A and B are shown apart, each in its own frame.
Chain A
Amino acid sequence: MSGLRITTAAEGTTHRVVLTGELDHETAPELERTLARLPQAAGHRLVIDLSGLALCDSSGLTTFIVARERALAAGTGFELTAPPPPVSRMLRVTGLDRVLLARHPQDA
């Protein structure tokens, strides 16, 4: 059974979203709605954990790009963490790793 499970948790001003399953044109709209409902404000942080993501297609990338733009406009920090190898490769090939992935101190 394909599909996407989205869980959200707030820790102070950080909203953590954990994705499990497949992020494609069928499931992306649901993630899009979930992310749009999260409160965003200057100084907040939105972290999306990709470790359980078995698949991510271009609809998924679109959702991340839209969410990032909305977050930046509100002054909210936005980052993806723990992409599994195929998602990591996709982010690397599309050059989005530099803008979407969390920057580790050694990268700075």
Chain B
Amino acid sequence: MSVAGHQVEEPEDREASFSALLEDSMEDLYDNAPCGYLSTLLDGEIAKVNATLLTWLGYRREDLVGRRSFADLLSVGGKLYHETHYAPMLRMHGEARELALDLVTADGHRLPVLVTATVKKNQDGDPLLVRITVFDARERRAYERELLRARREAERERERLQRLTSTLQRTLLPAELPEVLGLEIAAHYHAASSDQVGGDFYDVFPLDADRWGFFLGDVCGKGPQAAVLTSLTRYTLRAAAVHDTDPVAVLSTLNSVLRQRHDPGAPRFCTVVFGLLQPDGDDFAVSLASGGHPPPLVIRADGEVDVLTTPGGQLVGALPDAHFVATSARLTPGDVLVLYTDGLTEARRADGLMLGEDEERLPALAAGFAGTGARAVVDSLAEVLTAWADEPSDDTAILALGPRPPEAR
């Protein structure tokens, strides 16, 4: 019989050739098996041991049989484990499987092994002796040590990354918000990830003696590229506002800058609100422009909430001739202007519902915080966020500006 030129042996021939190879002596198989064999009495005294294990340990048979117990072969830690786990397991279950132990060789070296033991019983079920197999686990133990080392190294790397990330994140947010006479300013930043720099940003800064610029936005993406984009956006906004304070002009400049190194396959864009703030008596006049950003709210002292929409304003950096739309508002003492990123409105409840799914929800919630001041509004919104989504999955920035009542200045 021939298949593709190969001779295939008949079954009888194969049995004959196996037979010649097979162990003809069970004693030889026992002695020279590729694992250690050991039989002990119930008290642990070694009754029988194979040559493989003797070779591994460097003992002569007469050193062990009738003279030493299995526990004598173990390291100090192994003896303890034998006492607390191995022996009780054998007594209760009649077997102990794949225990990782260290044997100590005649010359004092440790030999990591995997031990499996079963209790041999007589016909009446009374225990007679313990049979033990011992597998050399040096390579496995080395592998486990390597795994452990790699894991510790990864944990250290992760800690380093988190430190780096939080440091970088701090450089992208103002260290402290400026003091503006008569104005309370408060901000909140929630970073969704501790090992990735978030893409939300905000700032408040002086333009001249009595004018202030502010912005809040969200760049696309996360991580190092988002950090670079955030940095570029922040500095561009501040520089552009010095050149021309008109909020629409500021956003147009940012759009040009983001388009300058335009890569069609990896657009760099952000949504941002840029505004100017100017004291006027006890009030503050605000003019702002939005580039595709969720509309700011003005929470009036009396509980009314104005949504400062800028219909048609487009995100910044995505389109060559992006269109930006301005609006203005007057803040009287007790009013609070609130800017926020979509981490707040797109926060998802456990059932998947977004906080801003109903566009009336945020203004309605905000109305409840009327008259409490900028700090309290920010803190309340931060509480709303964590109450809505246990672990908000997106970064969230909130910035609030509110004229203080004259008597509180």
Name A's B-contacting residues (CB within 8 A).
Answer: 57-59, 61-62, 65-66, 69-70, 73, 86, 89, 92-96, 98-99
Given contacts A94-B292, A96-B315, contact A66 B220 (CB under 8 A): no
Note all chain B residues with C-beta closer than 8 A to A57. 346
A70's nearest neighbour on chain B, judged by CB, is: B264
B263-274 CB contact bits vs A (8 Å, 1 = yes)?
Answer: 011110101000
Inter-chain contact A61/B220, CB cutoff 8 Å: yes
B262's nearest neighbour on chain A, judged by CB, is: A69
Cross-chain contact of B315 among A59, A70, A86, A95 (Cβ < 8 A): A95
Give Cα A58 to B198, complex, Å. 13
Give Cα A96 to B313, complex, Å. 9
Give Cα A59 to B225, complex, Å. 14
Give Cα A65 to B220, complex, Å. 12
Note all chain B residues with C-beta closer than 8 A to A92. 311
Inter-chain contact B357/A86, CB cutoff 8 Å: yes
Give Cα A65 to B316, complex, Å. 12
B247 → A minimal CB distance (Å): 15
Name the interface residues of B344-396: CB closer than 8 Å to any CB of A: 346, 354, 357, 359
Inter-chain contact A69/B264, CB cutoff 8 Å: yes
Query: What is the interface of chain A mostly: helix, strand, loop, or mixed?
Result: helix
Give Cα A95 to B359, complex, Å. 17
Give Cα A96 to B271, complex, Å. 11
Cross-chain contact of A95 among B265, B323, B346 (Cβ < 8 A): B323
Cross-chain contact of A65 among B221, B269, B346, B354 (Cβ < 8 A): B269
Q: How large is the interface on B (under 10, 10 to 19, 20 to 34, 35 or more residues)?
A: 20 to 34
B249-280 CB contact bits vs A (8 Å, 1 = yes)?
Answer: 00000000000000011110101000000000
Give Cα A95 to B312, complex, Å. 5
B83 → A minimal CB distance (Å): 50
A91's nearest neighbour on chain B, judged by CB, is: B292
26 example contacts (A-B, Cβ-Cβ < 8 A) are as follows: A57-B346, A58-B218, A58-B220, A58-B221, A59-B220, A59-B221, A61-B220, A62-B220, A62-B221, A62-B267, A62-B269, A65-B267, A65-B269, A65-B318, A65-B319, A66-B265, A66-B266, A70-B264, A73-B264, A86-B354, A92-B311, A93-B294, A95-B291, A95-B292, A95-B315, A98-B312
Give Cα A59 to B220, complex, Å. 7
Give Cα A37 to B311, complex, Å. 35
Inter-chain contact A99/B319, CB cutoff 8 Å: yes
Cross-chain contact of A96 among B318, B346, B359 (Cβ < 8 A): B318
B227 → A minimal CB distance (Å): 16
A1 → B minimal CB distance (Å): 13
Give Cα A94 to B323, complex, Å. 11
Cross-chain contact of B314 among A59, A86, A94 (Cβ < 8 A): A94
Residue among A58, A59, A65, A92 with the highest chain B CB neighbour number at 10 A: A58
Note all chain B residues with C-beta closer than 8 A to A70. 264
Given contacts A61-B220, A86-B354, A86-B357, contact A94 B315 (CB under 8 A): yes
Q: Does B300 contact A (CB under 8 A)?
A: no
Residue among B294, B315, B323 with the highest chain A CB neighbour number at 10 A: B315
B76 → A minimal CB distance (Å): 51
Name the interface residues of B274-330: CB closer than 8 Å to any CB of A: 291-295, 311-315, 318-319, 322-323
B91-117 CB contact bits vs A (8 Å, 1 = yes)?
Answer: 000000000000000000000000000
Give Cα A105 to B323, complex, Å. 22
Note all chain A residues with C-beta closer than 8 A to B314. 94-96, 98-99
Give Cα A101 to B84, complex, Å. 72
Cross-chain contact of A94 among B266, B267, B271, B346 (Cβ < 8 A): B271
Note all chain A residues with C-beta closer than 8 A to B318. 61, 65, 96
Give Cα A41 to B220, complex, Å. 29
B178 → A minimal CB distance (Å): 29
